[in-house]
Amino acid sequence: MATLRDIRRRINSVRSTQQITKAMKMVAAARLRRAQENILRARPYSFELREVIGHVVGLVDRGLHPLLREQPEVNRVGLVIVTADRGLCGAFNMNIIRRSLQEIERLQNEGKEVQLMIVGRKAREFFKRRDYPIIGQYYDLFSQLNFAHAQRIGSEIIRLFAEKELDQVLIVYNEFKSAIQQRVVLEQLLPLQPKMPEDVTGMVQYIYEPSPDKLLDVLLPKLINIQVWRILLESNAAEQGARMTAMEMATENAEEMIEQLTLFYNKVRQATITKEIIEIVSGAEALKS
């Protein structure tokens, strides 16, 4: 049976852990506000740029630009996996890894060669211990996230696809919905598939200067970089939301554990006092006899 000292030590340990989780929740909440502001600012530009490029692509032959050209047969697929650099954020990282493994299995069953590009330390730690070909690793980005990181990743993706080392590029990441909700998303980055406007009847016919194909030489790489930047911001905001929720639940669990341990402590203390009283009374009765 645990002694009173052991129970007090356990209560103090849980209370110290609770203080840490509460502090981590506050830090995650502050970072979430900044990350949410950043993603809400980036989304309109990203979506509008994709729509504009969709309009331009509708006027040209997709075979004119290497980033639009679809291979007749897809044999080599690059899978970009975006996780966090740190843990303590619930199932955030494991959801991405699980979805990635499912996609890898599906592609391999179709006879395709899969090569991984890792973004985030948690994905790197998981896949480097397993027999998967890794063609790129990017980690420790989210502590000081900036657009240069997206450009570096986007440029490498463009190079691999343009040089025909990859026939298709997919990306898996967590999309930020709210502080308590994230959604695992699988998107195709390359070849680009810009969406044409739904209402093409009222679409304005623009006059392009220079020609549409020259515009695409500038806009398509920019679109890839912007999409990668948006995805990094989405993942960062989703990570902070998941960590805030996880730390809040951990704090509540610690409070519940403290209450249970305190109740157990009082029961043990009362039992100890009762036992001592019985021993005293028994000793007094023995002296009388």
- Residues with catalytic function: 89
The 10 Å CB-count burial string (b at 16+, else e) for 128-153 is eeeebeeebebbebbeebeeebbbeb
